[in-house]
Amino acid sequence: MKKIKLAVIFGGQSSEYPVSLHSTASVLRQIDTKKYEILKVGISQDGKWYTYYGDIDALEHDQWLCADMCKETVLSCSQAYKGFLELEADGTYHHIAVDCILPILHGKNGEDGTIQGLFELSGISYVGCGHMSSAICMDKEMTHIVAEHAGIPCAPYICVYKRDAADLKKVYEDAKAKLGLPIFIKPANAGSSFGISKVDGFEEFAKGMSEAFYHDGKGKVILETTIEGFEIGCAVMGNDVLTIGSVDEIEITNDFFDYEGKYEMVNSHIYCPARIDEELFQKAQKMAADVYRALNCQGMTRVDMFVTPQHTIVFNELNTIPGFTSTSRYPSMMKEIGIEFSDLIDRLIALALEK
């Protein structure tokens, strides 16, 4: 059987760069090399692209960017040269053809539609959501607008632009009147809980707004009512036909599921399947599918929700390129329904090639 030429892209100009390296290492260790001819493509934190010929351990520990293991490369956006152009020191280049791209990039320029637009210009099939749905899902204001229009329950919110936040005291008083206390402050365009805070006073609010604007990069912050209860998630995969994964549950002792809780399991624990009754379980799966359809997703997403004390479910957010280590939430939820990690990778690549 002819191997599929697969480019795996990692790194990127994002605060979630380390997450990408760990996810990529896990995928490379699990992928069936009898089926795929792998081209590893790294994006440095200063935005340069390289083909990487070193080992997985060096990649995972951020020791990949060495002259003897890398060659500068660019993605060809001409459909006459589908693939990558590897640059030589003498100014020449050679073409490396690929059939499919697997981006394992998180946050800015990775799952916000930016790089997906490049892939579409190149004419190369790629794993995951398209550029439009990626952009909408990354932007928490746009996600709110589309989800609410589709009748999906969401937390009440206010969107604040930096240009309108000169009088922070007024912004705080308006938010307190509309949303109540405590208030969640979130960058509109960031992931992995960077820049998120939960506040119940003005001094905390001012500090939280500064932090959120810093991590957003586009001058936009979301303020949300605190939803009492606990967080659950559901993995979804598919294009026209959907595969709905299990539902997991997050138990935390901090105010919210922060970066350390997500990636180092500090003061947190994940239960898969979630410890909820069958009726709620099925409602969560249906909401996940409804959100996926409303936001025009393809390939894969993880849909995060809240279960309230009243046993209702409220949509929180959607991750178009979730963490992808063998113990990450998305693969774990798929494993719970019988899809092992290597099979999951095969299915996602097959979905990309059918688009």
Q: Tell me: the pLDDT tens digits for 215-250?
A: 887 899 999 999 999 999 999 999 999 999 999 999
| DSSP H or E segment with residue 300 | strand 299-307
Is residue 178 in a domain?
yes
Q: Which domain holds residue 233?
A: 136-153+228-354
Domain match, 221 and 241 both: no
Domain match, 142 and 263 both: yes
Domain match, 209 and 97 both: no
Domain match, 342 and 299 both: yes
User: Is cis: bond before 182, omega within 30 of 0?
Assistant: yes
Token digits of residue 352 = 């990309």
Residue 355 has pLDDT above 90, yes or no: no
Domain match, 312 and 202 both: no
Is residue 202 in a domain?
yes
Choose the final residue of a domain: 78, 108, 126.
126
Look at residues 332, 328, 276 and name the one whose alpha carbon lies nearest to residue 307. 276
Q: Name the 3-class secondary structure at 125.
A: strand
Residue 145, burial from CB neighbour count under 10 angstroms (0-12, 13-18, 19+): middle
Token digits of residue 213 = 């604007």
Is residue 131 in a domain?
no
**Alpha-carbon span 325 to 307, nearest angstrom:** 26
Residue 268 has pLDDT above 80, yes or no: no
Q: Tell me: the pLDDT tens digits for 25-66?
A: 999 999 999 999 999 999 999 999 999 999 999 999 999 999
Q: Assign 263 a pLDDT band (cuts: 50, 70, 90).
A: very low
Q: How many domains does the chain have?
A: 3
* pLDDT value of residue 254: 60
Domain match, 273 and 284 both: yes
Predicted TM-score (pTM) of this structure: 0.92
Is residue 29 in a domain?
yes
DSSP state of 307: E
Is residue 171 in a domain?
yes
Residue 164, burial from CB neighbour count under 10 angstroms (0-12, 13-18, 19+): exposed
Sheet harboring 242-252: ordered strands across?
268-271, 242-252, 230-238, 299-307, 313-319
Domain match, 196 and 234 both: no
Domain match, 299 and 175 both: no
Domain match, 148 and 177 both: no
Query: The CATH number of the domain where 164 resides is what?
Result: 3.30.1490.20
**Alpha-carbon span 28 to 10, nearest angstrom:** 11
**Alpha-carbon span 229 to 232, nearest angstrom:** 10
Q: Which amino acid is at 12?
A: G
Query: The CATH number of the domain where 234 resides is what?
Result: 3.30.470.20
Look at residues 264, 195, 233 and name the one whose alpha carbon lies nearest to residue 334. 233
Domain match, 111 and 148 both: no
* pLDDT value of residue 6: 98
Query: The CATH number of the domain where 94 resides is what?
Result: 3.40.50.20
**Alpha-carbon span 187 to 170, nearest angstrom:** 19
Sheet harboring 100-103: ordered strands across?
93-97, 83-87, 70-76, 49-52, 36-43, 4-11, 100-103, 125-126
Strand partners, 199: 183
Is residue 204 in a domain?
yes
Domain match, 236 and 329 both: yes
Domain match, 21 and 78 both: yes
